[in-house]
Structure 1
């Protein structure tokens, strides 16, 4: 009987954790969260696009765009959904990996994670301008992954 109570308590805890994780992804944008997130996302997109960029130049610009991201993520915690914050964190982690040339496959995985987080931007869950910005960022990352795969970096 004691085992059953422990198992039931454990199962209950797992269910609560699962529902909490789902609802945490669904935290809405609050206050200035959307505008702060969109401004930084636009910096990432601009750093990733441009005429005649070499990989070195691209990663240098992306690295500059990621400066201060940890402090910003701390500042916007609770006012942006987790998917939004994690898309930035994953992107910058991938940039670090490419820039330092350490474990390029992991860096590709970080970019893929960022894409996965951005897919949570749905019209029914986020403001339309956030959805459009997330879609633009996702397409930019997909393009970058296509290019680095051509050079067999992933």
Structure 2
């Protein structure tokens, strides 16, 4: 499962977007601020979400996350981790089973407990992107993916690996 920090990857500001020679797509608008993604990255990301092989992570609140059209319209993930790990969404809504699990485990919501819960209910192993951001956060074992300028290519490789695991 690819855990991707959307605050430190994928999204491009308008100034950077204007320097690119590839097609881009507007994926977020907050006031005058716009965020974009390359069309190629968007298509790869959408494919991984459809296969339930990607979990977006962000420090954004629930309301801020809803501004990201990408994850509200185009590619609705089964799971999303918000507020730096303290809010877990399932199918776009706070996961009540997770809240009950926390109470039973006598734990508080954190990135660590969220990942432990997901490991338990989904039986997954983690790949993380960008690895440079995840190192200090992760207690679980994971496959690091170094930051790259070709994020669409990275998503292609993750998709190929997920297909190989499915076929095995």
Q: TM-score normalized by structure 2?
A: 0.25
Q: Which has the higher strand share?
A: 2
Indicate the structure (1 or 2) with the bigger Cα radius of gyration: 1
Q: Which has the higher helix share?
A: 1
Q: TM-score normalized by structure 1?
A: 0.27
